[in-house]
Amino acid sequence: MTETQQTTGAPADAAGARGAVRGKRLIPVLFAVAALAYLLDLGSKLLVVAKLEHHDAVQVIGTLLQLRVIRNRGAAFGYGEAMTIIFSFIAAVVIVVIVRLARKLYSVRWALALGLLLGGALGNLTDRLFRAPGGFQGGVVDFIAPAHFAVLNLADVSICCGGFLVVLLAFRGLDPDGTVHRSGGGRRPSPARSQR
């Protein structure tokens, strides 16, 4: 190899190494956020089932916000109770897609958004797998009851926040790999790729 080739090859190798390091740093961020969201959801469900199930609703802010345990085998507002297995399958697909996408993740903001989605999906999928009657048909424990709205759990809140962030990031043109779309349709590298 000539000196010129060595000189021109070194920066490329260094840039590749830096890119690999950045990618590896953000995978733990994704899984740390997912683990935190999952553990908060799981812990809250265990607590409310032990303390609040089969009891009267607890008023947090009068009738505007209550804690009331229900087992939901459907989607939001209890719709689709006959489609529990389908919801379980969708959650499993979402989890697989997020895990596969993690290999290309260079954006901290996307890591946060996808971590929230992953943790929430895992939380509700755990209920469908292990709560009665089990086998992908278990009832999800919901307990956050705002007035005139669906009864939710922390996994639902996590999924909603993650979904909102995904839409916001996509609207702003930021991709999971850290690149930003130009208005003309092209891409440019993010100026602070590892901080986005």
The model's pLDDT over 85-111, given as tens digits with 9 standing for 90+, comes to: 788 888 899 999 999 989 889 999 999
175 is catalytic: no
Catalytic site residue from 41, 127, 156, 177? 156
The confidence score (pLDDT) of residue 155 equals 96
Predicted TM-score (pTM) of the model is 0.79
Rounded Cα distance between 86 and 75, Å, is 10
Query: Which amino acid makes up residue 78?
Result: G
Whether 156 is catalytic is yes
Average pLDDT over residues 159-178: 94
Determine which one of 41, 127, 142, 177 is catalytic.
Answer: 142
- What digits encode the pLDDT tens for the residues 132-154? 887 888 899 999 999 999 899 99
Q: From CA 28, how far away is CA 41, in angstroms rounded?
A: 20
Scored b (16 or more CB within 10 A) or e, 60-74 reads eeeeeebbbbeebbe
Q: In the beta sheet, which residues pair with residue 180? A: 174, 188
Q: Please tell me which of 41-55, 62-76, 168-182 the model is most confident about, judged by mean pLDDT.
A: 41-55
pLDDT at 167: 96
Euclidean distance between CA atoms 139 and 84, whole angstroms: 8
